[in-house]
Amino acid sequence: MLEAIVMRYEMNSDDKIYLENFYKKLERKLSVQCDRLGSIMPYTTENGQYFDMGQRHLEAWTNGFYCGILWQMYHATKKEKYKVNAEKIEERLDEALTKFVHLDHDVGFQWLHTSVANYRLTNNEKSLERSLHAANILAGRFNTQGNFIRAWNDSEKMGITIIDCLMNLPLLHFAFKETNNYAYKHIAISHADMALEYLIRPDGSCHHIAKFDAKTGAFIENLGGQGYGLNSSWSRGQAWAIYGMALAYRYTKDEKYLNAAKTCAAYFLANIALNDYIALLDFRSPKEPKYIDTTASACAICGLLEIAEFVPELEKSLYVESSLKCIKALEKYCCFDVDKDSILSYGSARYDRSSDREVPIIYGDYFLTEGILRLLAKDFLIW
Ligand code: GLY
């Protein structure tokens, strides 16, 4: 029976059984949720139930994640119902994609999880069109003087770029692969190099924001962002750095990105070891009040497992065993009751806003799902 459980990495039998049982609970809940939720775009819950963020704010950066969960589960189970709802969500997003002026750099998060995933799994031509349109929007935000992708749209934020954008770069690598247009690849590489220089610190911690003069491209300063403040260490930003740099290595095979991912991972692991393997919302914040962010741990798990794909055999266990420790720590925050929406609670969007601090957040569920599927070799690459 045990031999039948396929693992991507070497693991003892207790861990194999643990993961297989975790997957069974996850699959059962996601299956019931799929029947109940249809094609909504969840963000967080209200009174224990998801609301449809697509109706309130179609351009929200988080609107692709549930679709990403559906495509992962379609790939893992081949159950048609996941695909049906995922396709509907992708179509619902067309209004935002066509208008496009209200979109920002997070088109990567939005369309990697929808149209790119669909195209990779089904070869749907319309999905390819959507994906390339989204990639063009992202490429159009590149500032050639400062070598950064502009994050947001407000006129006073023309020179702002953020660590999160590393996760949008795979959309450009996808577009390069489909078109052979090197412009996409050059932009992705230039932006990743900018992040190494201005966002990631030598000790593996990182700034959330870098501000440039949009006209000359000159670096001005770093700013605090969704973490505690200036020079702090926002844990989800740390997770974006781990995973984003590991992905930059996947698409370029330039060792400096893998080394950066490892440095950021070592910093992250040293910090979570101080808090029972759960990420604080910010690793450099006052001891009280103590806020955690489970989404940071979930995202970091996938980043650690991405690093594990590329390191020599004897180096893998650091990343695989650490990710398993994180999953076991996160289980305390998981709800597998099929009558309630969402799995992972205690996710935090930002330090200074209580409305979505320590609450269920959809990207926590996405990364948790991807992490479990990765370990069981049932995932496919959305990024
Ligand atoms: N990309 C925004 C965030 O991580 O909250």
Query: What percentage of the chain exceeds 90 in pLDDT?
Result: 97
How confident is the model at residue 237, as a pLDDT?
98
Residues 6+ apart with CB under 8 A from 285: 227, 228, 232, 291, 351
3-class SS letters over 147-183: CEECCCCCHHHCCEEEHHHHHCHHHHHHHHHHHCCHH
Residue 3's pLDDT band, with cuts at 50, 70 and 90, is low
User: Who's near 253: CB < 8 A, 6+ residues apart?
Assistant: none
354-377: pLDDT as tens digits: 999 999 999 999 999 999 999 999
pLDDT in tens, 307-337: 999 999 999 999 999 999 999 999 999 999 9
Question: Residue range 214-240: average pLDDT?
Answer: 98
pLDDT at 383: 98
For residue 7, the model assigns a pLDDT of 86
- Ligand 1: centre distance to CA 246 (Å): 18
Query: Which of these, 290, 289, 296, 288, lies nearest to 272 by C-alpha position?
Result: 296
Q: Rounded CA gap, 143 and 242, in Å?
A: 24
Which position has the token pair 């189970």? 77
**Given this model, what pLDDT does residue 155 score?**
86
pLDDT > 70 in the chain, percent: 99
Element (H, E) at 74: helix 65-77
Question: How far from 121 is each of 70, 89, 115, 127, 281, CA to CA, in Å?
Answer: 12, 16, 10, 10, 35
Which is more confident, 67 or 3?
67
pLDDT of residue 157: 87
Residue from 65, 138, 236 whose mutation best tests the ligand 1 pocket (most atoms within 8 A of CB): 236
Q: pLDDT tens digits for 120-137?
A: 999 999 999 999 999 999
User: From the CA of 59, how far away is ligand 1's center (Å)?
Assistant: 14
Tens-place pLDDT, residues 92-103: 999 999 999 999
CB 110 within 8 A of CB 134: yes
Give ligand 1 pocket residues (Cβ under 6 A): 61, 164, 226, 236, 349
CA distance 274 to 178: 44
Candidate of 59, 62, 65, 226 to mutate for ligand 1, largest count of ligand atoms within 8 Å of Cβ: 226
Could you read off the pLDDT of 243-285 as tens digits, one per residue? Answer: 999 999 999 999 999 999 999 999 999 999 999 999 999 999 9
Q: What is the pTM of this model?
A: 0.97
In this model, does residue 68 exceed pLDDT 80? yes
In one-letter notation, the amino acid at residue 149 is I
